[in-house]
Amino acid sequence: MVDGVRIIGIPGIPRITEGDDVGEVAARCMEAAGIEMEEGDLVVVAQTVVSRSEGCTVRLDTVNPSGRALSYAGITGKDPRIVEVVLGESTGVIHAGPGFLLCETRHGFVCANAGVDSSNVEEGMVTTLPPDPDGSAARISRSLGKAAGFAVPVIVSDSEGRPFRRGSVGVALGVAGISPVRSLAGVPDFFGRQLQTTEVALADQICSAANLVMGESGEGIPVAIARGVPPGRGEGIGGLLYEEDVFKEALGSDEG
């Protein structure tokens, strides 16, 4: 356990544009930086570069806000065109307040502005979340695996705010080759009793750890290796989502 966990930021990732093979680019930058992947490594990739590589961008001057978008723009103070893009990405609005719109996305994520972001993209444009983040992670994993010669699990990460606490933390949007949730069912505590907390959001915690070197991608480190984390074997990101969420229920939803 003295080796512990290491998070290694990959320097020199160039500005990613549509059609780029993010895994291939990341592997090349690792090589250039003298960083070798090891078996067991996970790779975390920021959503912003994944979205850009997949062309998940919208030119705001092509957007025509609906009445519903104009109404939410009034509540939030946001650009009505951005609100229109947000609503298009959402299956419902959970809460609206000054500066933000809490939405449920088509993937089932509940997050501010449905993940629509005007950072790290050209003026007059926004990025949207990748339509199938597990699929994105799988494609990047394949490219990295080809370069490494062994399987490389991948997490597509985002930074999100959350209720009740200030500041953003890392969360996983998509995974490949890793179980996003670790079950502690059956793990005894110090006193031999069953632990009260039985599900750990492993992938989210890895994204928060990766953020410690990635910072916001504006700082230029959109890819990091997480070394020494036992990944488990896993299915998709759905493991991190509730089928029924008491808060969503309590807050209600405007499904437009």
Rounded CA-CA distance 199/37 in Å is: 29
Q: Is the distance from CB of 146 to CB of 169 less than 8 angstroms?
A: no
CA geometry: angle at 184 spanning 228 and 230, to 5°? 15
Give the nearer residue to a second copy in terms of CB position, either 149 or 163. 163
Residues 97-116 that bind a second copy (CB under 8 A): 97, 109-111
Neighbours of 113 (CB within 10 A): 24
CB 5, min distance to a second copy, A? 4
Rounded CA-CA distance 161/65 in Å is: 26
Q: Is 117 in the site for a second copy (CB under 8 A)?
A: yes
Number of residues that bind a second copy (CB under 8 A): 86
Q: Is 95 in the site for a second copy (CB under 8 A)?
A: yes
Identity of residue 226: A
Q: Which of 35, 60, 75, 138 touches a second copy by CB under 8 A?
A: 35
Give the nearer residue to a second copy in terms of CB position, either 63 or 67. 63
Cα 71–chain centre separation: 28
Q: Is 92 in the site for a second copy (CB under 8 A)?
A: no
Q: Which of 147, 184, 232, 254 touches a second copy by CB under 8 A?
A: 184
Q: Which of 67, 149, 164, 255 touches a second copy by CB under 8 A?
A: 164
x/- track of binding to a second copy for residues 46-65 (CB under 8 A): --------------------
Residues 191-210 that bind a second copy (CB under 8 A): 191, 193-197, 199-202, 204-206, 208-209
Q: Is 29 in the site for a second copy (CB under 8 A)?
A: no
Q: Is 250 in the site for a second copy (CB under 8 A)?
A: yes
Q: Is 185 in the site for a second copy (CB under 8 A)?
A: no
Rounded CA-CA distance 9/31 in Å is: 13
Rounded CA-CA distance 120/188 in Å is: 45
Q: Quick one: which of 66, 161, 94 has its CA closest to 74? A: 66
Q: Quick one: which of 25, 16, 28, 24 has its CA closest to 55? A: 16
CB 229, min distance to a second copy, A? 5
Between helix 67-76 and helix 80-89 the angle, nearest 10°, is: 110
Selected range binding a second copy among 3-11, 19-27, 53-61, 145-153, rule: CB under 8 A: 3-11
Rounded CA-CA distance 170/158 in Å is: 6
Give the nearer residue to a second copy in terms of CB position, either 67 or 196. 196
Q: Is the distance from CB of 101 to CB of 203 less than 8 angstroms?
A: no
Give the nearer residue to a second copy in terms of CB position, either 70 or 187. 187
